Amino acid sequence: MSEAVAPRSGLTAAIGSMAAGTTISRATGVLRVLVLVYVLGISPLADAYNLANTIPNMVYDVVLGGVLGATFIPVFIQRLTSTSEREAWRSISAICTLAVVVLAVTTAAFMVLAPFLIDAFTSLEHVRRVGSAQHLATQRHVATVLLRWFIPQVFLYGLLSIGGALLNVRRRFGAPMWVPIANNVVCIGVLLVFAAVVPTPTLHSVSMSPGQLALLGAGTTAGVAVQFLLLVPSLVKAKIGRLRWRWDLKDPAVRTVARLGSWTFGFVVINQAALFFVIALAFSVGGSGPVSSYTYAYAFWQMPYAIVAVSVMSAVTPDLATHHSTADELAFVARFGSGLRSVLAMMIPASVALFLLAKPAIALLLGHGNTRPHQTAETGMALAELSLGLVGFSVFQYVVRALQSMHRTKTAFWLYLGENVVNVVVAMLLVGPLGLAGIALSVSVGYSVAAVAGLLVLERSLGRLGPPGCYRPLGRICAASAVMGVVIAVVSNLSGALAGPALYARVIGAVVLGGAAYLGTAALLHTKQSAASREGLQDS
């Protein structure tokens, strides 16, 4: 009861810790991508690796991840605020026990199903595009072997998410954002060792060496294992000593999770079905590494969202759940409004900068090792199209968090269904004329449409989404972002360089001058607005 709402100073510190941890984590994640591209390039081997490494995330999300994120924290908080401490932890124990069992069974099952999963994802990749049936068979073999090494990540991701939920309930937000750094460091080390052992890897050479596949596969999964082990000390300190192994499917909290999770499971399934379609469609585009191009572009696109928006959402979600459980609608609306304003204030300028700098930045970051200039151009174009949907994606995810806090998972399901239908339909229309860029653009369109729909749904239910005037500062953000965009466009187009020192000067100059223009414009507008406010007060 006493932990219902974190003090503002504590919340600010929590967001700061999460943002710092996420920033460093994402920085090491970028380094991991750079090393991966340097070692494997954008190639059929990289496609096999990235596909196999994506599937465990998808499987985990379908089986437990989406349900866990949507229901565990609200249900945990509801039990802690409405029942005794002992009874609440009995229910939490029952939920966690069931989750661990489901994770273990799923991991074992998909170890067997690995080859069928790879065949399904590559079903649209035609022999005429890859050169020969033997090449396609080799790629499927490498991906299948790697996938079997990666599948234990499903179980480990589950343990990490359960631990993160328990820590969030105790208002301990920092550790889950910091421990991924260790995962990235381990994977970087494994990739560098692999590069030393195999300086010029190819799909064929790696397929002939079980040891090389084992190094890539086991080393990548070891990073996730280390990540979980480093979370354990925080769990020990978080006073969750009443957590026990308790198998009880009749516990009321388990039934609540099942009821709320049914709709969540539905939208996770359709979300992953759409992702399956996007990846399979990317394979059908052809080229040396279309899946890797899309994967790398998506990873860079997620950076601004993960560094700032996720930190804000993770800190705000427990408060939203608490306000809903206590029926304090005014506090809920105020908290939602402040969080939405924070998300928009960061994502609007990030979207503008990312769109304008996508091609040269990708050429600068990935144009090394086994990567060719035309491959970075394709990845840069995909990133530019994705950046158009950064604001929509971030707002949509925040709206879904709010709906989950309100236990309105059915509404979230319909929003996700609409988003994925738009995504798939637009992808089918655009993949022909635009190729991989069309697939990326379809993602942006889908999330932007869903974000608008989600805000309208919440406004209809709650009324005004925040106190009067709370979004007024966003006008300054948009104006400063527009000025920044003009400066970046001018500076970046002074040179069309995609390699060498001129490329460094192009990117660094655009970032520095664009950033200065943004900060200067924002400060000037803030000063003018403050002066106008003072004059208004004097006149009154």
Where are the alpha helices (H) located in 41-72, listed in sequence order?
Answer: 44-60, 66-67
> Has residue 480 got a pLDDT over 90?
yes
More confident residue, 105 or 63: 105
Record the pTM: 0.77
DSSP label of 131: S
DSSP label of 65: I
Helix axes 474-493, 329-366, angle to 10 degrees: 10
Under DSSP, is residue 247 helix (H, G, I), strand (E, B) or coil?
Answer: coil
pLDDT tens digit sequence for 326-335: 888 888 888 8
Task: Tell me if 454 sits within 8 A of 415, measured CB to CB.
Answer: yes
> Has residue 7 got a pLDDT over 60?
no
Among residues 46, 30, 498, 499, which one has the least CA distance to residue 290? 46
More confident residue, 83 or 40: 40
- 498-518 as b/e, with b when 16 or more CB fall inside 10 Å? beeeebeebbebbbebbeebb
Torsion angles phi and psi, residue 190, rounded to 5: -65, -45
Task: Tell me if 311 sits within 8 A of 155, measured CB to CB.
Answer: no
More confident residue, 284 or 213: 213
Under DSSP, is residue 199 helix (H, G, I), strand (E, B) or coil?
Answer: coil
Is the backbone of residue 176 left (phi > 0), alpha (psi -120 to 50) or beta? Answer: alpha
Average pLDDT over residues 1-19: 51
In this prediction, residue 474 has a pLDDT band, given cuts at 50, 70 and 90, of confident
pLDDT tens digit sequence for 407-421: 787 888 899 899 999
Other beta carbons within 10 Å of 494: 12
> Has residue 65 got a pLDDT over 70?
no
> Has residue 299 got a pLDDT over 90?
no
> Has residue 32 got a pLDDT over 60?
yes
Among residues 386, 144, 450, 425, which one has the least CA distance to residue 281? 425
pLDDT tens digit sequence for 151-207: 999 999 989 988 888 887 777 766 777 888 999 999 999 999 999 998 888 888 998
Give the long-range contacts of residues 533-537, CB within 8 A, separation 24 or more: none
Least confident of 139-143, 283-287, 355-359, 471-475: 283-287
* Amino acid identity at 53: N
> How many residues belong to the chain?
540
The pLDDT score that the predictor gives to residue 488 is: 94
